[in-house]
């Protein structure tokens, strides 16, 4: 915890691990269906891998700063990394306990035997050897490495390997585990209704003598190396930023090591030799279990097809206005419309673009794409619009981490078909989720907009909870047009009076709204703020929230991920309540509500209260003017504030206690309640 006078902050990277604790709590929750628990284990593992590749990597980069400068700035990256590793080690232990002591036995109770090595080695050894010879052997590569000396061996990013020790301790072997080319989980046998599944890893382990016939093998240990995910671009090189990023993508898999995950059974001497071979430091070594890459459990098979082991399928809600609308333009002209994912279909967004692509009156479509789906009805509709002679402007964020290659690919496809494609700016990302359609009506251009909290991506819309607003509001769409002119380089400042646009007006407007609540509290009129976001990190915003709390403003926050704000501190933040909801779907929507002396103001859109979202990204938050939509979002916000099933409390201790229902309270699981609320509203 960092402290200034009455201005305490959690360290964001330590607090992020508390968020991943909440994911692990869902994996441990026996009320979740078995395959949902496996999903949460996979999410936990995937999150942790990205954490080391991005956040820990950035902390390590701080070590390159001159020591005297680090001291002045109170930068202590090594200390923080050591703290992180202690917490990560505890989480890994808990993960192992949940998996081996709870989930594996429950799989067995349901006729799915995930075999350990000893079981495989016994009754199923011949089947394992046959599979190895027929399917695996040709994909394996071995290296012999001289111990205690630096080596030319290169471990690919995130790939699995076995380190094999020999009687001769002066050398060891490395063999790849080709889980990216083969299924990680192999069903070797079925006996009546019982299915026997083996780890791919163990099939290789069982046949190591075949790979090292001239060696006396003593043991083997699974290892995995994670590498820095940042793209360090040389801006002096010629070419567009998109070209530079595309050329740099191959560097990601060759970047600096950020974590060597190894089997904790590995002897100290072997660890030391491995470190020297790979040129790693002690801080790079992280102990793990027998198996790594648990994110592979996203694709763990269910040969029983038992519906009881999975979350019940979600019946998609049909939007009562949009579902049968022959013309979205007529409908949106009459009234704003609101959609909610994944409870409703993303087809409503894609249909809007498709109608625009075929409507003779539509002249132009403008869209910002942050994470482009590989192929979708949306991309088809944009290509159809180009074919039909529409002017299409696409802003592609080429720096959307881990989606750069696909985004650039689609940018080039759109360019080839005649679109005007604009890529990222060097020092700013475009994170807004906005669409603008210009339509000629009675000789005048009328504007139609879609402003969302989530990406234009049909696949992620099925797993992320997001909101999207369709509007033809003249002033909102005028501001959005000016936003696109900024992206197109035609304006420097959008001068918007209704939309909040980062990095121009979001911070100043939100701060003014918070100060307004402080003034109301100071005059005895009360002050109230309710806000939902993904992360809360910006020190200036947090300091102002502390001041609001100290003035008596009642603040209720829902922050799914990490938060640097510490609630419930006496004299500092006792008027701030903060919860987090981790459930079946990823909470991703942002809603900000200010009481404003009985005339409440609400915004929704793409921006969290993080410094990057306020100051270094193009973000769009829209005011909610339609009173029906205002009430709908307000109701959703209130349902989430009442969650006492999946909600966890943010506390100074970061221990993630459940929000407890009193004996007379109804159990409220907000995602289920919101679904039922929308189902009733749109029946």
Q: What is the DSSP string of 194-246?
A: EEEEEEHHHHHHTTHHHHSTTS-EEEEEEEEEEE-------TTSSS-HHHHHH
pLDDT in tens, 193-211: 999 999 999 999 999 999 9
pLDDT of residue 424 exceeding 80: no
Q: Is 357 exposed, middle or buried (0-12, 13-18, 19+ CB in 10 A)?
A: buried
Q: How confident is the model at residue 248 (pLDDT cuts 50, 70, 90)?
A: very low
pLDDT of residue 188 exceeding 90: yes
CATH 3.30.1840.10 boundaries in the chain? 2-309
Q: How confident is the model at residue 69 (pLDDT cuts 50, 70, 90)?
A: very low
Q: Residue 73 has what pLDDT?
A: 42
Read off the pLDDT of each residue in 214-227 and give the average, rounded to a whole number. Answer: 93
- Cα separation of 631 and 372, whole Å? 32
Residues annotated within a binding site for ATP: 47, 464, 560, 588
User: Helices 241-252 and 404-416 sit at what angle, rounded to 10 degrees?
Assistant: 150
Read off the pLDDT of each residue in 153-166 and give the average, rounded to a whole number. Answer: 92
Level-2 CATH architecture, domain 502-681: 2-Layer Sandwich (3.30)
Read off the pLDDT of each residue in 552-578 and give the average, rounded to a whole number. Answer: 96
Read off the pLDDT of each residue in 252-263 and give the average, rounded to a whole number. Answer: 74
CA angle 287, 288, 292 (to 5 degrees): 140
Q: Residue 231 has what pLDDT?
A: 41
Read off the pLDDT of each residue in 621-647 and give the average, rounded to a whole number. Answer: 98
The domain 2-309 having CATH identifier 3.40.50.20: the answer here is no
Read off the pLDDT of each residue in 505-517 and give the average, rounded to a whole number. Answer: 98
Q: How confident is the model at residue 150 (pLDDT cuts 50, 70, 90)?
A: confident
Level-2 CATH architecture, domain 328-496: 2-Layer Sandwich (3.30)
pLDDT of residue 44 exceeding 50: yes
pLDDT of residue 153 exceeding 90: no
For every residue of 493-556, DSSP letters joined together read: ----SSSEEETTTHHHHHHHHHHHHHHHHHTTS--EEEEEES-B--HHHHHHHHHHHHHT-EEE
pLDDT of residue 157 exceeding 90: no
How far apart, in Å, are the Cα atoms of 76 and each of 18, 24, 260?
A: 20, 28, 22
Read off the pLDDT of each residue in 300-326 and give the average, rounded to a whole number. Answer: 96
How far apart, in Å, are the Cα atoms of 488 and each of 86, 408, 485?
A: 47, 17, 5
Q: Is 533 exposed, middle or buried (0-12, 13-18, 19+ CB in 10 A)?
A: buried
Q: Which residue has the tokens 């002045």?
A: 72
Instruction: Please provide the average confidence, as pLDDT, over all residues in the chain.
Output: 89
CATH 3.30.870.10 boundaries in the chain? 328-496, 502-681
Read off the pLDDT of each residue in 303-309 and give the average, rounded to a whole number. Answer: 96
pLDDT > 70 fraction of the chain, expressed in percent and rounded: 90
- Neighbouring CB atoms inside 10 A of 662's CB total 6
Q: Which residue has the higher pLDDT, 489 or 371?
A: 489
Active-site amino acid positions: 431
pLDDT of residue 63 exceeding 70: no
Q: Residue 151 has what pLDDT?
A: 75
pLDDT of residue 114 exceeding 90: yes
CB 357 within 8 A of CB 384: yes
CB 666 within 8 A of CB 639: no
Q: Residue 252 has what pLDDT?
A: 40
Q: Which residue has the higher pLDDT, 587 or 254?
A: 587
pLDDT of residue 247 exceeding 60: no
pLDDT of residue 676 exceeding 60: yes
Q: Which residue has the higher pLDDT, 78 or 528?
A: 528
pLDDT of residue 19 exceeding 70: yes
pLDDT in tens, 463-485: 999 999 999 999 999 999 999 99
Q: Rounded to the nearest 10 degrees, how much is the dihedral formed by the CA atoms of 116, 122, 127, 128?
A: 50
Q: Which residue has the higher pLDDT, 241 or 102?
A: 102
- State residue 243 phi and psi, 5-degree precision: -65, -45
Q: How confident is the model at residue 143 (pLDDT cuts 50, 70, 90)?
A: very high
| Helix, strand, coil % in the chain, rounded to nearest 5 | 40, 25, 35
């Amino acid at each position: 915890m960092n402290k200034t006078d009455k201005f305490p902050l959690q360290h964001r990277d330590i607090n992020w691990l508390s968020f991943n604790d909440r994911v692990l709590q869902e994996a441990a929750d026996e009320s979740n269906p078995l395959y949902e628990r496996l999903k949460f284990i996979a999410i936990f593992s995937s999150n942790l891998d990205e954490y080391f590749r991005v956040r820990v990597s950035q902390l390590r980069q701080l070590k390159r700063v001159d020591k005297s400068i680090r001291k002045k700035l109170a930068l202590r990256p090594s200390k923080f990394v050591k703290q992180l590793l202690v917490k990560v080690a505890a989480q890994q232990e808990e993960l192992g306990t949940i998996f081996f002591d709870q989930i594996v036995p429950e799989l067995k109770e349901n006729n799915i035997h995930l075999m350990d090595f000893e079981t495989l080695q016994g009754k199923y050894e011949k089947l394992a050897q046959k599979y190895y010879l027929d399917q695996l052997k040709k994909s394996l590569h071995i290296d012999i490495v001289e111990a205690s000396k630096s080596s030319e061996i290169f471990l690919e990013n995130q790939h699995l390997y076995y380190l094999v020790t020999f009687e001769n301790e002066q050398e060891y072997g490395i063999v790849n585990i080709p889980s990216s080319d083969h299924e990680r989980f192999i069903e070797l046998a079925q006996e009546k209704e019982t299915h026997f599944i083996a780890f791919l890893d163990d099939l290789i382990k069982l046949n190591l003598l075949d790979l090292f016939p001239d060696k006396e093998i003593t043991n083997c240990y699974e290892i995995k190396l994670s590498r820095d995910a940042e793209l360090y671009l040389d801006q002096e090189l010629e070419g567009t930023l998109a070209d530079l990023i595309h050329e740099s993508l191959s560097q990601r898999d060759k970047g600096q090591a950020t974590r060597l995950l190894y089997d904790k059974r590995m002897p100290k001497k072997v660890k030391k030799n491995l470190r020297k071979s790979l040129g790693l430091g002690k801080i790079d070594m992280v102990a793990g279990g027998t198996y790594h890459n648990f994110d592979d459990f996203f694709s763990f098979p269910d040969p029983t097809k038992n519906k009881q082991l999975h979350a019940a399928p979600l019946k998609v809600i049909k939007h009562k206005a949009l579902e049968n609308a022959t013309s979205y333009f007529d409908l949106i002209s009459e009234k704003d419309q609101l959609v909610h994912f994944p409870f409703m279909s993303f087809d409503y967004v894609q249909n809007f673009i498709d109608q625009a692509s075929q409507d003779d009156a539509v002249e132009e479509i403008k869209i910002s794409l942050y994470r482009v789906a590989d192929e979708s009805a949306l991309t088809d509709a944009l290509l159809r619009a180009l074919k039909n002679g529409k002017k299409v402007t696409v802003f592609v964020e080429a720096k959307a981490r881990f989606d750069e290659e696909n985004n650039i690919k689609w940018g080039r496809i759109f360019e080839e078909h005649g679109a005007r494609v604009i890529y990222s700016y060097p020092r700013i990302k475009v994170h807004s989720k906005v669409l603008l359609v210009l339509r000629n009506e009675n000789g005048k251009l009328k504007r139609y907009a879609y402003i969302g909290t989530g990406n234009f991506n049909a696949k992620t819309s099925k797993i992320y909870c997001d909101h999207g607003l369709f509007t033809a509001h003249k002033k909102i769409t005028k501001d959005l047009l000016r936003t696109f002119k900024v992206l197109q380089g035609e304006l420097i400042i959008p001068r918007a009076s209704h939309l909040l646009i980062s990095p121009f007006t979001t911070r100043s407007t939100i701060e003014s709204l918070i100060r307004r609540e402080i003034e109301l509290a100071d005059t005895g009129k009360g002050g109230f703020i309710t806000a939902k976001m993904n992360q809360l990190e910006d020190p200036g915003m947090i300091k102002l929230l502390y001041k609001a709390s100290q003035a008596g403003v009642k603040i209720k926050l829902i922050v799914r991920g990490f938060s640097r704000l510490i609630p419930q501190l006496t004299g500092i933040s006792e008027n701030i309540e903060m919860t987090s909801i981790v459930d079946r779907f990823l909470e991703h929507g942002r809603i900000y509500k200010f009481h404003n002396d009985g005339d409440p103001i609400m915004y929704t859109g793409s921006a969290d209260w993080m410094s990057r979202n306020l100051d270094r990204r193009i973000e769009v938050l829209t005011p909610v003017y339609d009173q029906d939509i205002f009430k709908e979002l307000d109701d959703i916000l209130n349902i989430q504030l009442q969650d006492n099933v999946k909600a966890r409390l943010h506390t100074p201790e970061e221990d993630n206690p459940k929000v407890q229902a009193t004996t007379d309270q109804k159990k409220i699981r907000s995602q289920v309640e919101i679904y039922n609320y929308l189902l009733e509203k749109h029946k």
